[in-house]
Structure 1
Amino acid sequence: MILPKEILKKYWGFSEFRPLQEEIITAALEQKDVIALLPTGGGKSICFQIPAIAKEGICLVISPLIALMQDQVESLTQKGIKAISIKSGSTQDEIITLFDNIKFGGTKFLYISPERLQSFFIQQKIKELNINLIAIDEAHCISEWGHDFRPSYRNIKVLRELKPDVNFIALTATANEKVLKDISINLDLKKPQLFKKSFYRENLAYQIFTIEDKLQRLLQIFTKTKVPAIIYVNSRKKTEQIAAFLNANNFKSSFYHGGLSSVEKNIAFENWMTEKTPIIVATNAFGMGIDKANVGLVIHLDIPSSIENYVQETGRAGRNNKKSFAVLLYNKSDALLFKDRLERTLLTIKEIKEIHKKLYQFFQISLGELIEEPFPFNLLEFCKKYNFSVLKVDTALKILSNNGIIEISSHYNKKSTLQFIVNSKTVLNYLDNNPIIKKFTNSILRTYAGLFEQEVNIDEFFIAKKAAITTNLVVSNFERLQKDNIIEYKAVKNEADLTFLLPREDDYTINRFSREMKQFISQKKQKSDDLIQFINNDTICRSIQVLSYFDEIKTEKCGICDVCISENRKSTANLASEIIELLKNKQPLSSSEISESLVANEKDILIHLRQLLTDDKIKINHQNKYQLNL
């Protein structure tokens, strides 16, 4: 057997393991069941990949996210390690071929979703394989108390019957004591060894600032702080807007979101890794496989969805053990928007039943019927047809997927493209001779820029909505223009593939899972409440609050979070005189410039500025700056 450190050096290029990795690998190699709780950046994947490589046979990996599976398969393949996953919508014949290739093709890793384990056919195929280790990634999903409970995870223990002599390793980055206990019980683990790394990060300063002008504060932060940074926002459009704003102010940045093509994602990622653009603005799609040690700053411009997500995302800072910052910029309107969005995504069982039934109707599936082939699915088109809220349908799809009722594979990065392959003069002549398509074509030219220079991503549904015509007519018009050699049109027919895993039984299906669904909705609301409480609690050290949430007891304050700094800051009694002294020694200053110069809370500074104005000790000049009233 090859030694773990030799495998680490050969495939990953490291000479030493991170804390707890070697102990976890040793336990796995000794055929023991293991639970590994390693916060973000702890290197969980290596803990099952190395023992699997060291032994004869195949490692079966259960993972909840298709994108995560694809990412790990690609990463292993690039290292020369054969890994494979069962693609969404694969037919039975394709799966038979795939398992034959696994058996005889030297495959070391098979990644599957927990939903796949519900298939008796898949179970029998797994039984035929020489499995050397079973790894359960994101194991907190097995618990009703986890932040992303998936009832399908409860079916994983069927592998105990299929492979009674194979040991399990369950891995998670976020779990409290209750969740860890659930993992052990529901996986039927045999005297599991628990390896738990503390969530305490002595070098990470959690700092939450209540502020109205977030963009101005961003400029202040990056003027002072010259380290690689991640800025998290909650929409794709916002990633592009914030990156453009920073670049316009001479701070090199790029953006990253789920709607980019693989090439665009790789370029953005590489530019950030090499620090060609040391700042990256991203949605939470930016997370998998990030291992950049010198990230010194993670900023949340929008409220994350839970404390677990917040800790995972901020945990990408300071992996080199140098002081780093987790900054959340927050204001009252954020809280209102957050609560409003939550209300608009929370569903009743009645609403889930209605959306579930309409999905079958949308694809004309009869009661009792099950069609196992994937269907092309356009979320916006479905919502428009039945007048559903996009946010609610999106949540319903997640709930139905988590409960093993459907499987949905997203293809948002695949967009149709369009390019005019003749010059503008030729287009004008063509339209004069084809007036029936003139208005449509002119609308396209007004909507999208650069169509004569390059291929441009387009959205047929958006075009149809804008032109008040059907999507089919949009496609038909493009096909006509292409036939007449005016454009090059590369169509992508769907945003996602949707596969039904259960026959249509309408309310009966949902009733079977209603308890789990209610639990999911209740947990989502509770976790949102916990997060808002954490943000608003400015009396207890942030680090102590985080540790308490994950059932760690620590009474020593971190000394570097916003709460600790506020407590340690000298009394503001002398703040008025400090402001006057500052204005004596400098030219007129804005409130933000005064805040930069003084070690004091911005809110306290503004209060003292107002009082000094009232007392006629200072005044505001025509540039809206403060100066002494001489």
Structure 2
Amino acid sequence: MISPKEILTRYWGYSTFRAPQEAIISSVLNQKDTIALLPTGGGKSICFQIPTLVQDGLCLVVSPLIALMNDQVQQLKDRNIKALALTSKISQNELPTIFDNLQFGNYKFLYISPEKLQTTIVQERIRNLNIQLIAVDEAHCISEWGHDFRPSYLQIHNLRDHFPKIPIIALTGSATTKVLEDISVQLKLNEPDIYRKSFARDNLAFRVVEAEDKLFKVEQVLKRTNGVTIIYVNTRRKTIELSDQLNTLGYTSTYYHGGLLYDEKIKQFENWITEKTPIIVATNAFGMGIDKPNVRVVIHYDVPNSIENYMQEAGRAGRDGKKAYSVILKNDSDIYQTKERFQKSIPTIDFIKKVYLQLNQFYRIAYGELQEETFDFNLSEFCNLYKFPVVLTYNVLKTLHKDGIILLDENFDRKSTIHFIGTNKQVFDYYERKPSFEKLIKLILRTYGGVFEGPKPINLNYIAKTIGMPFSTLIGQLKQFEKDEIIAFYHANSNAQIRFLVPREDNRTINPFSRGIEKRNNLKLHKMKALIDFIQNDTICRNIQLLHYFNETNLEKCGHCDVCQESNKHPNVSAENIPDLILTLLSQKKEVSSKELVLQINAKEQDVIFSLQLLVEKNRIGLTSQNKFRILE
């Protein structure tokens, strides 16, 4: 039998394993159930791919993300390894042929989502396959204490009933001790070997920085690090705006978010990976498959979603082992907005019941009826009709989907697109001839950059609301533009599709899930508070705080986070001496900005700002027309 190291060298070109990969592979080959907790970049996939290639048979990989499945399948195919992903894109009619190929075509890997795994035909055909290993990726999704709980994961344990003697390996990049315990119980693992790689990163410095002027702070960080950078923001619009601002300042950046078309995503990613644009501004959609070793800094321009998400995103820096930085920019407004956003995004049981009732009435489903039809669904139209807040309603739908009450299709974010195929002059001449269209054309051009370069996703509801135009009239005008060969327009007729999975019983439908929903809401509150505590706690080493969150016991000060740096600084300037130092600097330089004073005075930024305000109130200093401080005579 060929050895794991030979497989590693043959297919991956490496001669040695990272710790603890070799021990995990040995455990799997010894037919042991295994849990592997490896932080981002720890090489989780090799832990089930190599044992599969060493022996005969097929590995069944359960994974929650279609994009991740497709990416791993493509990587295997690039190495001439036969693999296939069974996603929702594959029709029922195709399944018999696919399973025949899997059974007789010498395939080594079958990737499947937990939802697809629940279908009857898939369960029946899987039993005929020569499965030698079951891998459950993102296994924290099985636990209600995990940061991305998915009820569909709770059904994976049925595989144990079908394949009682086949080893299972559960893999996750972030999990507390409680989550690991849940994984073992829910998957019915038999005394599993558990391997945990510490989250400690000696080369990664965690910094939380107070910043009222965030763009200025970003510039400071970029000047000091001068390397490949990821900047995370929390909205799609902000990715474009911040990237444009950085390019105006002389940096070379691009942007990435989930609303981009597939070809755009590939282009933006390639520009960054080849360092044509070494800075990328992105939402958390930028994550899957990123393994660039020389990322020098990851900046969180906005507060991350949770400590688990933060560790995954920050962990993309410094994988080459060289010095790297993770920087969170924050201010009081961020903390307030994070709490406010949480309150507005967590639906109560009463609101869930209300949305479910209106959803049934919207499609005229009778009490006690199970309607098996798949319905087109427009979120904005539904919310406008019943005066529901959009974000909260969307979260209700996701909750109903998670609890198996409805099925919400995976193309919820499908977007209409527009592409101006005429030149600037042709567009100008067009609305000169047809002035009634001028307002709409100018709004689109002002709102969406790059519409002359290629198809761009647009929010039709936002445009209709902003311009004060009925939705149907907007669609009519856009179709007229297309007919006049000014634009190419793709209209996504519905944002989503919905199918009801249980008969309508109104409150009685929701009641059995109420305790679980409330438990998940409380857990989200706990995670939000833990994140805010981490951001606001400037007395305990950041590394210690993070390791403690993940139940690690070997806690030592890192020496290079902002808390450790502050304690090592021993500033020469006490708070009461700052005003005198400001006056001295102003007497030497005449006019100085607040940013320059903060950089020159070895003290906390908030103390310098407070001293400036104090001196202004006492009429000792004033502001010039260039917003610089000077001494008043």
For the criterion TM > 0.5, the same-fold answer is yes
Q: Does 1:177 align with 2:167?
A: no
SS at match of 1:489: strand
Matches within 5 A, 1:319-330: 319-330=319-330
Q: Is the 8 A contact 1:365 1:504 kept in 2?
A: yes
Match of 1:307 in 2: 307
Q: Is the 8 A contact 1:206 1:560 kept in 2?
A: yes
Amino acid at match of 2:340: D
Matches within 5 A, 1:353-364: 353-364=353-364
Match of 1:447 in 2: 443
Larger deviation, residues 579-588 vs 100-109: 579-588
- For 2:623 and 2:463, the matched residues in 1 are separated by 50
Alpha carbons of structure 1 residues 80 and 357: separation in structure 2 relative to 1, 3 Å:
farther
Match of 1:344 in 2: 344
Deviation at 1:600?
3.0
- For 1:594 and 1:424, the matched residues in 2 are separated by 49
Q: Is the 8 A contact 1:377 1:495 kept in 2?
A: yes
Amino acid at match of 1:448: I
Larger deviation, residues 329-338 vs 579-588: 579-588
What whole-Å deviation, never above 9, does each CA across 1:138-175 have from its counterpart, x for those lacking one? Answer: 11122222222223222211101111121100011111
SS at match of 1:44: coil
What whole-Å deviation, never above 9, does each CA across 1:81-119 have from its counterpart, x for those lacking one? Answer: 333333327553333343333323443322222233333
Alpha carbons of structure 1 residues 30 and 588: separation in structure 2 relative to 1, 3 Å:
same
- For 1:485 and 1:615, the matched residues in 2 are separated by 65
Q: Is the 8 A contact 1:294 1:317 kept in 2?
A: yes
Larger deviation, residues 563-572 vs 492-501: 492-501
Matches within 5 A, 1:16-165: 16-88=16-88, 91-165=91-165
Deviation at 1:59?
1.6
Q: Does 1:410 align with 2:423?
A: no
Match of 1:435 in 2: none
- For 2:50 and 2:408, the matched residues in 1 are separated by 30
- For 1:470 and 1:618, the matched residues in 2 are separated by 55
Match of 1:254 in 2: 254
Alpha carbons of structure 1 residues 370 and 71: separation in structure 2 relative to 1, 3 Å:
farther
Q: Does 1:589 align with 2:592?
A: yes
Matches within 5 A, 1:263-342: 263-342=263-342
Normalising by structure 2, we get a TM-score of 0.89
Alpha carbons of structure 1 residues 361 and 123: separation in structure 2 relative to 1, 3 Å:
farther
- For 1:481 and 1:584, the matched residues in 2 are separated by 63
- For 2:78 and 2:325, the matched residues in 1 are separated by 33
Normalising by structure 1, we get a TM-score of 0.89
Larger deviation, residues 617-626 vs 525-534: 617-626
Q: Is the 8 A contact 1:299 1:327 kept in 2?
A: yes
Match of 1:434 in 2: none
What whole-Å deviation, never above 9, does each CA across 1:209-247 have from its counterpart, x for those lacking one? Answer: 222111111122222220211111110000111111111
Amino acid at match of 1:534: F
Q: Is the 8 A contact 2:548 2:555 kept in 1?
A: no
Amino acid at match of 2:444: Y
Amino acid at match of 1:596: L
Match of 2:11 in 1: 11
- For 1:190 and 1:275, the matched residues in 2 are separated by 47
Deviation at 1:189?
0.7
SS at match of 1:251: coil
Q: Is the 8 A contact 2:33 2:168 kept in 1?
A: yes
Larger deviation, residues 370-379 vs 28-37: 370-379
- For 1:553 and 1:453, the matched residues in 2 are separated by 54
Amino acid at match of 1:37: L
Deviation at 1:546?
0.8
Q: Is the 8 A contact 1:383 1:393 kept in 2?
A: yes
Matches within 5 A, 1:427-446: 439=436, 441-446=437-442
Deviation at 1:544?
0.8
Q: Is the 8 A contact 1:84 1:110 kept in 2?
A: yes
Structure 2: state its 5+ residue gaps. Answer: none
- For 1:345 and 1:607, the matched residues in 2 are separated by 35
SS at match of 1:280: strand
Q: Is the 8 A contact 1:35 1:192 kept in 2?
A: yes
Matches within 5 A, 1:360-375: 360-367=360-367, 369-370=369-370, 374-375=374-375
Amino acid at match of 2:413: Y
Q: Is the 8 A contact 1:260 1:413 kept in 2?
A: no
Match of 2:607 in 1: 604
Amino acid at match of 2:605: E
Structure 1: state its 5+ residue gaps. Answer: 432-437
Larger deviation, residues 384-393 vs 33-42: 384-393
Deviation at 1:497?
4.0
- For 1:385 and 1:615, the matched residues in 2 are separated by 57
Amino acid at match of 1:208: V
- For 2:22 and 2:429, the matched residues in 1 are separated by 68
Larger deviation, residues 280-289 vs 52-61: 52-61
Amino acid at match of 2:162: L
Alpha carbons of structure 1 residues 59 and 376: separation in structure 2 relative to 1, 3 Å:
farther
Deviation at 1:534?
1.4
- For 2:202 and 2:237, the matched residues in 1 are separated by 35
Deviation at 1:427?
5.1
Alpha carbons of structure 1 residues 547 and 445: separation in structure 2 relative to 1, 3 Å:
same
- For 1:369 and 1:76, the matched residues in 2 are separated by 46
Matches within 5 A, 1:462-481: 462-466=462-466, 471-472=471-472, 474-476=474-476, 478-479=478-479
In the alignment of these two chains, the number of paired residues is 623
Larger deviation, residues 372-381 vs 185-194: 372-381
1 or 2 for the larger relative contact order (CA 8 Å, sep ≥6)? 1
Amino acid at match of 1:409: E
Match of 2:213 in 1: 213
What whole-Å deviation, never above 9, does each CA across 1:579-628 have from its counterpart, x for those lacking one? Answer: 67766776743221233234432123334556677899877666444567
Matches within 5 A, 1:500-511: 500-511=500-511
Q: Is the 8 A contact 1:36 1:170 kept in 2?
A: yes
What whole-Å deviation, never above 9, does each CA across 1:522-542 have from its counterpart, x for those lacking one? Answer: 111111111111111111111
What whole-Å deviation, never above 9, does each CA across 1:174-231 have from its counterpart, x for those lacking one? Answer: 1111111111111111121111001111222211122211111112222222021111
- For 2:79 and 2:362, the matched residues in 1 are separated by 43
SS at match of 1:296: strand
Q: Is the 8 A contact 1:445 1:451 kept in 2?
A: no
SS at match of 1:171: strand
- For 1:215 and 1:462, the matched residues in 2 are separated by 27
